[in-house]
A and B are shown apart, each in its own frame.
Chain A
Amino acid sequence: MSTAPPPAVPVPAEPAAASRGPSGLRRRRRREYQLFLAFIAPNFVFLLLFAYWPVVYSAYLSLTRWDMVSPVKRFVGLDNYADLLTDPDFLGVLWTTLLFVVGVVAGSLIIGIATSLLLNQRLRARNAVRTAVFAPYVVTGAAVGTLWLFIFDPNYGLLKPLMGAVGLNAPAMMTDSHWALIGLIVVYLWKNTGFVAVIYLAGLQGLPRELYEAAELDGAGPWTRFRRLTLPLLSPVTFFVLVTMVIQTFQAFDIIAVMTGGGPANATSILSWFIYQQGFQTFDAGRAAGGAIIMFAVLLTITGLQARFLERRVHYR
């Protein structure tokens, strides 16, 4: 790790000073360093082994071909990446991922902000509603998937009478490849909206009243106030929600595993499912690792871009 010269970052305990001081002080300082290492060691060991090392190892695996049965991992250079990026199925996965992420993130943001505006009104029982809205976010994903499978069941599901009431035929949501992704997005919206709404609500409650009073005196209507005041003032919150939701949504897995298993005909196969499928169902370690590294790169890029572009537009108080 560190064979580097003394620290450039000033920290309370300057080693240089220590070596000049009396030996008792030096010993105490040394003990503190040891103690620091002992204190952070458990956490760091697990992070290095299970968070950092896997990135390195994935990168290595992505350069090999290995079926997880035979003893040899054959080095193939960038073949896996070349394969992936010319494979129509994988490009389909990327496209599906894009649709899914945009659908879920944009939907959660819009519905979430609308809900937060409603919950910000001084209405009776709004706290109970806030609880009800947030609850799906903590409910076990596998259970959420099962519950919605039941609701979407083409023969016995709730969707059938509900759509029947307005004279529509319920589609076979999870087995029709035109509907499956839409169905999944609906489920994730249901699960996530509360999270987004509650964060926005906290943001709304922190807004300065005086600004609104002044705006009203200037004759600004509700929509103008929302667009010109609320949204800009909430932009830091939006930034946070956007980053969090994008990262979360990219990694969506449990509900997909329960509801569609990536099907039908790959219609709901997003990148996170693809990585699992390649790694643990079809045992193509190289492709799985390649997919994982691509996902890592995409997320880093998106987070970086979001930070960069939104930074400029985010309104800091």
Chain B
Amino acid sequence: MTTPPALSRRRLLSAAGALSTAALLAGCAGTVRDSYAQPGGTVPDRYGRRTRVVLWSSFADIPGETLLALADAFNQGQRDIYVEVQFQGSYDDTFRKTVVGRLGGQVPDLVTLSDVTWGKFLIGGALQPWDELARASGLDLGVYNQHLLKEGLAKDGRNYWIPMARSTPLFYYNRTLFKKAGLPDRAPATWFEMRDWAKEFGKVRLGGNRPKMEAYYKQDGDWQFLGSCWQWGGSWSRGLDITLDSPEVAAAGAWQRRLIYRDRLSYMATDAGLDFGNQLTASVVNSTGALGKFATLAKGSGFRLGTGFVPRGHHFGVPTGGSGFCSFKGVPRERQQAAMEFIKFLARPENSAEWTVKTGYLPVVDAAVRTPKLASLMKADPNFTTSIQQLARTRNQDLARLLVPNANVKVYTGLQKIWSDDADPAKVFRQVADQLRKGMDRVRDSIEQHVRV
């Protein structure tokens, strides 16, 4: 028989043992799992016996409705698969929920990840390549716009990111206001021309308000700014070297700072698109994917919408962007194959065209342009041709934005300082460049392992 203290000690030790087991469990979180659970949801009775595919999407409003309608059509058109679209919020929200879900052992079968987030999973070795699945389902990846498809190609020669809601920035303008100010009915060719126009424009009044020429997005404005950097001859990075602290980038920032603080032609807006829709500004640079939304807003506010190429600076410079489909290792093969069937369905020219017609995103399948639906619309509404024509002149984004963790957030936080604090761009970007360099050093090895530089 043990004496009491010894016994209590034993008890305590065994309790401590149990706890450290739990603690060890915690220590294991985040290591690779063999399989992941599927997020819950609700399956309508009539689809109860099918293979269920959970798709996490970032699309609300018009794109969201269009995707739902396409999924509906897919579900009704065959008898084996049920695709359930689960809206997860913005691109960043979707990314965060996917990371967090994965730590908890749960991933969707299919997810739309943006340009700046999918690479993080790629270099973390988390993604499932699509090539073999595509072959098995009889989808020829050659149907995609090769320029867009190639952006999802990794160093191992496989495709991890299938084009879905791909976009470029466009110059949107309020034709009614432009006319009122006596300006030509077109996008300015250069930013310098636009600034000259602003003198005329200064006289326009609308309901007691004096509309501004343009506004910058408080969040995610770094995408448009990447284009500005190129237009002024700069870049965020060359290869894996950070070049954000170059005089060219500072000049691009200084231009916007001057427009805000000296010329009073622009400002930082929480939602620059909404302000444009409410005619608080005469123009805005935003994704092609916003075309559908702006058309609706314009109708609501009673103005005519115009689009054009993004104006030049010293050069022409427009990036691609948007999101594509990814799937994860550890999702059962059966569901990956089922997910592939849905991708194949979306890759039919008429479906790709439907997506483009409704939303304004680029037609990711080349043949979509030749479908009657899209062809006739392009003839009737020139706004739909702008992005397609501009696509040929786009450029792949600098690697720093795509692969350095949170490079986009760091740059737009820097931009906020310029736009709302009148901070010196050279100083701001020197600071951000330092952070990007540190970030790049952390991921350089993984990038070199997974990405063609």
Contact = CB atoms under 8 A, between A and B. Distances in A.
A31 to B, nearest CB: 9
Interface in B269-323: 270
Contacts of A266: 413
Interface residues of B, number: 48
Interface stretch (A136-144, A278-286, A288-296): A278-286
B420 A69 contact: no
Contacts of A33: 4, 7-8
Interface in A1-57: 1-3, 6, 15, 18-19, 26, 29-30, 33-34, 37, 41, 44-45, 48-49, 53, 56-57
A266 B126 CA distance: 31
A89 interface: yes
B435 interface: yes
A53 B125 CA distance: 30
B405 A284 contact: yes
B3 interface: yes
A83 interface: yes
A57 B20 CA distance: 11
Interface stretch (B9-17, B73-81, B135-143, B223-231): B9-17
A187 B92 CA distance: 28
Given A176-B420, A280-B100, A282-B405, A71 B125 contact: yes
B416 A265 contact: yes
Given A33-B4, A282-B409, A264 B218 contact: yes
A303 interface: no
A66 B420 contact: no
B431 A70 contact: no
Interface in B156-210: none
Interface in A65-113: 65-71, 73, 83, 87-89
Contacts of B406: 282, 284
A288 B438 CA distance: 16
Contacts of B31: 71
A249 interface: no
Nearest to A69: B124
A175 interface: yes
Contacts of B92: 281
Contacts of B218: 175, 263-264
Contact of B421 (A44, A83, A177): A177
A56 B24 CA distance: 12
Nearest to B125: A70
B212 interface: no
Contacts of A48: 19
Contact of A1 (B3, B16, B121, B405): B16
B380 interface: no
Nearest to A6: B5
A196 B80 CA distance: 64
B372 interface: no
A169 B30 CA distance: 51
Interface in B1-44: 3-5, 7-9, 11-13, 15-16, 18-19, 22-23, 26-27, 30-32
A49 B22 contact: yes
A268 B97 CA distance: 24
Interface string B85-115: 0000000100010011011000000000000
Given A49-B22, A53-B23, A68 B7 contact: no
Nearest to A16: B5
Contact of B9 (A3, A41, A68, A176): A3
Contacts of A44: 15
Contacts of A71: 30-32, 124-125
Nearest to B442: A65
B413 A265 contact: yes
B446 interface: yes
A155 B222 CA distance: 27
Contacts of A177: 416-417, 420-421
A263 B4 contact: no
B120 interface: yes
B9 to A, nearest CB: 6
A87 B446 CA distance: 24
Contacts of B416: 177, 263-265
Q: Which of A177, A178, A266, A283 has the most CB of B within 10 A?
A: A283
B405 A41 contact: no
Q: Which of A178, A265, A281 has the most CB of B within 10 A?
A: A265
Contact of B99 (A45, A263, A283): A283
A160 to B, nearest CB: 16
Contact of A37 (B8, B417, B420): B8
B19 A53 contact: yes
A45 B123 CA distance: 38
Contacts of A68: 30, 99, 103
A301 to B, nearest CB: 27
Contacts of B421: 177-178, 265
B273 to A, nearest CB: 16
A1 B103 CA distance: 31
Interface in B362-405: 405
A281 B96 contact: yes
A88 B405 contact: no
A69 B12 contact: no
A279 to B, nearest CB: 10
A87 B435 CA distance: 8
A266 B410 CA distance: 10
A69 B15 contact: no
Contact of B121 (A30, A34, A69, A87): A69
B127 to A, nearest CB: 10
Given A69-B124, A70-B125, A71-B125, A175 B270 contact: yes
A15 B3 contact: yes
B434 to A, nearest CB: 8
Contact of B15 (A45, A282, A283): A45
5 contacts: A37-B8, A175-B268, A265-B413, A265-B417, A283-B120
> Sorted from nearest, which 10 A-B pairs have the closest CB atoms?
A69-B124, A265-B416, A70-B124, A71-B32, A282-B406, A265-B417, A30-B4, A1-B12, A15-B5, A71-B31
Given A69-B124, A265-B420, 5 more contacts: A19-B4, A34-B7, A49-B19, A175-B270, A281-B92
